[in-house]
Structure 1
């Protein structure tokens, strides 16, 4: 009888300790929300999710142990972005991470109190997200996507890989790329020394994408620059297919395009940027304010070339260009 009573007391004590431990763990659990510009099954977003988790783990934040990360996927749709932003703010997480300019704009509109760490944003000062790069001054800080001074290199590289190109079009969605005037300024500055014609080609849906690329292809010596915006990224299969159909040289800002069959890309390593953004999440959760954390620029750029696509287009990349490439897909 005494033994049964002891066992019962022990079990009860263990259960009480377990409940207390879980309650203590729950009390110490931090909540972070992450709003993405892609659909959940997109290869690019899956790469970013893994990079973010790795960045957190390196700093001691283990999911479902001391941090819970809630991901939302917008597919680049502006209505869905705003709905997710409102939902996440109402759920009152400790911090929200946002990828890209449209998402950061929606989060800024939704809250001025919850800390926001952005990544892959262009022109955060010009878009009104921060007061300055060195002293953001509000509840928002983070990591930019590309230094505008690097944009001219897209013109240089498309000319280098396809010397016959004489006309280049920048394709973009003005709703998801509000910073496109800055892109055009930098491309305009670069085109004169390369003797290239430049045109701006705004698109809003896949039908306009097809019409724009078809029109460009029907003129001789054309090339395409696909702006790094949420719309183009989410419709990259259509862009890649059309440039392949019309044998049109095109350059992109994301490696994922080339992995899926595009000719060439040059831009920052997106996984590295997202991984680094976990560092600011760590610092904010430990008490630092976004207002005092300077906006940081990319540190790793990569040039990637798809040789199979080059061959299909009748292009033989110069050995010096291949030697500079960070990745060559056979």
Structure 2
């Protein structure tokens, strides 16, 4: 856990002072280390969350304290991390990843939780998107296996010569929810040695493209994963724009700026006394394909015009 303050620009600081009572958030990630969950170093959705909270008048260092926690990619730590968070009794808990959210819900039925999740209904977190009930609300990055299937489709369209596509997952349950079966590789203990071994194995098996799942511990290792894909000259499709920003070939995801704005709104409503369970769960309405054209050129790929036309953003 880390507590970090920071300089706050005058307009946000002034509004924060007007909002009065200081608030406290516990921010938890399943994979990324706690000291990286900051306004400067966090993944894209977390950076945008801070920005949207500032727009709403909640600025870290002025009227907002952020406590940061991480399971660092170890699912066996979810329960202990959840217990530590609950014992600190924050005003709101913000977390990613269904299994981690589930662990937090087991630890508290009263502290409001705002989650960035997969499908919250099929995984039993809530029974109704419109009225979640209990102490959970948030936003879903996509229901069922639709996102994984769409990513696989775009990857095949981008690399039509690829006949042996591998798919990396962090658990069997995640793979089963995705409905994806070809070339499945499951890495439950995500570390450098395992990732290097998996990519070496894919090279031996003559894999010619790879799909990376939404596992939070993969995101924490995105720099290494992107480097290994480049080393083995593997075109790859990723689940978040953070990978493309780090040099990955392409990423297809819900518009994380839109989701972060909704999460910030949820937090602000809870601060003002609204029950989390009365706030509808948000489903994405916009999706982005981000392509790193520099990486495509390094791989010797000429992407089809239809794929480039579909892209929301091209990184030169």
Q: State the TM-score, normalizing by the size of structure 2.
A: 0.83
Name the residue aligned to 1:214: 200
2:64 and 2:162 map into 1 onto residues whose CA distance is 51
Are 1:139 and 2:135 counterparts?
yes
Name the residue aligned to 1:34: 27
Name the residue aligned to 1:127: 123
Tell me if the contact between 1:284 and 1:290 (Cα under 8 Å) persists in the aligned partners.
Answer: yes
Name the residue aligned to 1:317: 303
Question: Which segment is superposed worse, 206-215 or 242-251?
Answer: 206-215
Deviations 1:7-60 (A, max 9, x none): xxxxxxxxxxxxxxxxx9998222222113312237762544432222223223
Structure 1: where are the runs of 5+ without partners? 1-23, 189-197
2:293 corresponds to which of 297, 304, 307? 307
Are 1:179 and 2:165 counterparts?
no
Structure 2: where are the runs of 5+ without partners? 1-16
Name the residue aligned to 1:52: 49
In structure 2, the CA distance between the partners of 1:137 and 1:247, relative to structure 1 (3 Å rule), is same
Q: Which 4+ runs in 1 deviate beyond 6 A?
A: 24-27
Tell me if the contact between 1:255 and 1:266 (Cα under 8 Å) persists in the aligned partners.
Answer: yes
Higher helix share: 1
Greater C-alpha Rg: 1
1:36 and 1:275 map into 2 onto residues whose CA distance is 18
RMSD between aligned residues = 2.6
Tell me if the contact between 1:117 and 1:141 (Cα under 8 Å) persists in the aligned partners.
Answer: yes
Tell me if the contact between 1:25 and 1:65 (Cα under 8 Å) persists in the aligned partners.
Answer: no
Are 1:291 and 2:286 counterparts?
no
In structure 2, the CA distance between the partners of 1:112 and 1:165, relative to structure 1 (3 Å rule), is same
Name the residue aligned to 2:250: 264
**1:221 CA drift (Å):** 5.8
Tell me if the contact between 2:44 and 2:241 (Cα under 8 Å) persists in the aligned partners.
Answer: no
1:230 and 1:47 map into 2 onto residues whose CA distance is 13
The number of aligned residues is: 293
SS in 2 for 1:166: coil
Name the residue aligned to 1:153: 150
Tell me if the contact between 1:164 and 1:221 (Cα under 8 Å) persists in the aligned partners.
Answer: no
**1:234 CA drift (Å):** 1.6
Deviations 1:177-230 (A, max 9, x none): 7433111x2x35xxxxxxxxx122111233333333223223346321100111
Q: State the TM-score, normalizing by the size of structure 1.
A: 0.80
Deviations 1:114-143 (A, max 9, x none): 111111x11212322112222212111111
Question: Which segment is superposed worse, 103-112 or 62-71?
Answer: 62-71
SS in 1 for 2:183: strand
**1:90 CA drift (Å):** 0.9
Name the residue aligned to 2:93: 96
**1:156 CA drift (Å):** 1.5
Question: Which segment is superposed worse, 75-84 or 48-57?
Answer: 75-84
